[in-house]
Amino acid sequence: MATRRFATHNISVTRSTTKSDGSFHLDINYVDANDYSNCSEKIVIGGIPLSLSYLTNGLLSSDGSYKRTYAIKVIEESSISPVDVSAASEYSTVWDGIRFSLSQDQAGRLYLDVNDLNSTVVETDEIIVRGMPLTLGENQELLFLKTALTSADIEEYGNVYIGGTALVAGRVGNNWYLVLHPA
Model pLDDT for residues 94-148, shown as the tens digit of each residue: 888 888 888 888 888 888 888 889 888 888 888 888 888 888 888 888 889 999 9
State the pLDDT at residue 126: 85
Percent of the chain with pLDDT over 90: 20
Element at 145 (helix H, strand E): strand 142-146
Mean pLDDT of the 61-74 span: 84
Phi-psi region of 18 (alpha: psi -120 to 50; beta: other; left: phi over 0): alpha
Mean pLDDT of the 55-63 span: 75
Q: Rounded mean pLDDT of the chain?
A: 84
The pLDDT of residue 18 is above 60: yes
Using 50, 70 and 90 to split pLDDT, how confident is the model at 163? confident
The pLDDT of residue 84 is above 70: no
State the pLDDT at residue 16: 83
State the pLDDT at residue 89: 45
Using 50, 70 and 90 to split pLDDT, how confident is the model at 81? low
- What single letter denotes the amino acid at residue 19? K
Could you tell me the residue range of the domain that residue 39 belongs to? 2-182
Mean pLDDT of the 64-76 span: 86
More confident residue, 87 or 90: 90
As a whole number of angstroms, the distance between CA 175 and CA 173 comes to 6
Length of the chain: 183
State the pLDDT at residue 132: 87
Q: Are 69 and 133 in contact (CB under 8 A)?
A: yes
β-pairing, 70-76 vs 48-55, is antiparallel
Tally of domains in the chain: 1
**For 4-15, what is each residue's pLDDT tens digit?**
877 777 888 888
Using 50, 70 and 90 to split pLDDT, how confident is the model at 83? low
As a whole number of angstroms, the distance between CA 161 and CA 158 comes to 10
